[in-house]
């Protein structure tokens, strides 16, 4: 019984991290094309880094919530459980999840635009903005995927494979509008998975969901967990 959880910004909302869309979403206050594209970065790396530095500080102060913890429990309990996330906040790993595929990178990662050197930098705030590569002095960029960029191929292939092979595919807190990530629930469904959705609002994915918990990630996931245990036993 393979269980795959697929998360978006909504799972971190209860940790106090703003989502992107919706009424208090980041894309209401900020413009994508000024902050989350490669063009924006090369035009004004300082501005883009200030925005990421601010987000890094918000995330550093936040704690994983009950929903993150339920996914850790599921990983520990079900032998064939995997997590695919669009989130860059690293809260799944901080909660204790180990089998995590990150589709959109990680906000704590930095990468040199000249030599490609990649590393993690957890300092907040960063001592110098924009930060520079220790090896070659080149400009460092956040290790996240921006609009107009390819997703990391290894992560994407892994995500497609897990989705094809899933028996239960749980979609949590994503608006389901950013591709190719948003395609995964459809891939799972086409290959026979039961699709479950946890989201206080309807999304395009709701149309193909077999079971919908129209509520917050923490309470909705608790119900998903109980449903799976009830139906399939504790080994999933």
> What is each CA distance from 122 to 56, 86, 143, 166, 230, in whole angstroms?
8, 20, 12, 34, 41
Residue 83 structure tokens: 């997590």
- Determine how many CB atoms are found less than 10 A away from the CB of residue 74: 21
Q: Is 31 in the site for Zn ion (CB under 5 A)?
A: no
Q: x/- string (CB under 6 A) for ligand OAD, residues 76-115?
A: ----------x-----------------x-----------
Task: Tell me the C-alpha to C-alpha distance, in Å, between residue 21 and each of 30, 128, 167, 178, 184.
Answer: 11, 30, 29, 11, 20
x/- mask, Zn ion, residues 96-115, rule CB under 5 A, reads ----------------x-xx
Helix (H, G, I), strand (E, B) or coil at 92: helix
- Window contacting ligand OAD (CB under 6 A); options: 111-119, 163-171, 193-201, 206-214: 193-201
Tell me the closest approach of the beta carbon of residue 194 to Zn ion, in angstroms. Answer: 46
> How far is residue 141's CA from residue 52's CA, in Å, rounded to a whole number?
10
The residues of the shown chain that bind Zn ion, judged by CB under 5 A, are 112, 114-115, 117, 133, 135-136, 138
Active site residues: 104
The residues of the shown chain that bind ligand OAD, judged by CB under 6 A, are 8-10, 13-14, 19-22, 25, 36, 86, 104, 145, 147, 173-175, 178, 198-201, 203, 216-217
């Amino acid at each position: 019984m393979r269980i795959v959880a697929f998360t978006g910004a909504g799972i971190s909302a209860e940790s106090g991290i703003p989502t992107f869309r919706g009424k208090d979403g980041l894309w209401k206050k900020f413009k994508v094309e000024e902050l989350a594209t490669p063009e924006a970065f090369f035009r004004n790396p300082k501005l883009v880094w200030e925005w990421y530095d601010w987000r890094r500080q918000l995330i550093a102060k936040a704690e994983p919530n009950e929903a993150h913890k339920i996914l850790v429990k599921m990983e520990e309990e079900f032998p064939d459980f995997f997590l695919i996330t669009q989130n860059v906040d690293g809260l799944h790993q901080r909660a204790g999840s180990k089998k995590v595929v990150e589709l959109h990178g990680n906000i704590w990662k930095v990468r040199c635009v000249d030599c490609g050197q990649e590393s993690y930098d957890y300092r907040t705030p960063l001592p110098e903005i924009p930060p520079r590569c220790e090896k070659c002095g080149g400009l460092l960029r956040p290790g996240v995927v921006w609009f107009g960029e390819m997703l990391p191929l290894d992560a994407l292939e892994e995500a497609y494979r897990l989705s094809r092979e899933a028996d239960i595919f749980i979609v949590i807190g994503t608006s389901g509008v950013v591709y190719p990530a948003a395609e995964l629930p459809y891939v799972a469904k086409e290959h026979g998975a039961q699709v479950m959705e946890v989201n206080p609002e309807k999304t395009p994915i709701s149309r193909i969901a077999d079971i919908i918990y129209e509520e917050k990630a923490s309470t909705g996931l608790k119900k998903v967990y109980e449903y799976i245990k009830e139906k399939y036993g504790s080994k999933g």
